[in-house]
Amino acid sequence: MEQGKQITRKAYGKINLGLDVLRKLPSGYHEVKMIMQTVDLYDELTFQIEEPETFEMTTNLPEIPVDGNNLIMKAAKLFFEKTGIHSGISIHLEKHIPVAAGMAGGSTDAAATLLGLSELFETNLSMKELEALGVSLGADVPYCLHGKTMLCEGIGEIMTPLPDMKDLNLVIAKPPISVSTKMVYESLKVDQLSAEDHVDIDGMIQGIRENNSDAVIKRLKNVLETVTIAIYPQIEEVKKTMLQNKAINALMSGSGPTVFGVFNTREDAKEAASELERLGLANQIFVTGLWNN
């Protein structure tokens, strides 16, 4: 192993254009049907080969754990166990995606770790092998290995690529709260959802296949909002503010609390972001777009 050799990878965050929950499985997980979409907001991870006894991580945010509880370190451990490679590694994370925000920030970092280490050590692991490692770390990790526009079913690991969406003008805003995904799913009463509560995922897919963004945007829906917004009403305030400031539509991503709004122009998006900042409704606000490269 070439000690000192390093590479840097970007780990892109995601939003859910549609998130439906179909039922609770005997395993405790939930069967979902989602349209996932990467956005142009990313973390950067640098991997460097070290002496065999070195296994460490650093980050720009002191509140992020750098021990064995971090998904990055868990992914690195799994990689070395899978490949049998005996080497040290140091990993540095520059964190930009909001934490505990419904944007798969931890999952995308884990995916970037699997991809980055596979490249750094020139392994021949297939994408299927990486996906199998990823799903043991979290349901969103297999998707994050691919990114772009994707239908995700099962617990999120059954993936069907969709045509790339044309770019959208987005404002992504995270209120100053953190939400437990586990708590949200445990609180969701799936058997009490009506037909109207569910999401028209098939209609969204048709819109994507026909390159009809309007058909997708008008169908934006997330069944988890019924749980999270009831507990954290400030999420609804963020949505309302976006809609009152020229958003075509707005939606909570994942289990929250992050909200994204879709705007006709970048200028409209910037103005809405300024209003959110003025009102103090979010402590992390980004004007960005989709990522499909």
Q: State yes or no: is 197 an active-site residue.
A: no
DSSP assignment of 199-260, as one string?
Answer: --HHHHHHHHHTT-HHHHHTT-EETTHHHHHHH-THHHHHHHHHHHTTEEEEEE-TTSS-EE
Q: State yes or no: is 239 an active-site residue.
A: no
Question: Furthest-apart CA pair in the chain: how many Å?
Answer: 58
Alpha carbon separation from 90 to 3, 33, 110 (Å, rounded): 11, 37, 14
* Candidate list 140, 174, 239, 268, residue with the active-site label: 140
Could you give the count of Cα atoms lying within 13 Å of 48 in the half-sphere of its Cβ? Answer: 13
- Residue 239 CA from chain centroid, whole number: 19
Q: Residue 32 in contact with residue 234, Cβ under 8 Å?
A: no
User: Rounded distance, CA 173 to CA 186, Å?
Assistant: 25
Catalytic residues, by residue number, are 14, 140
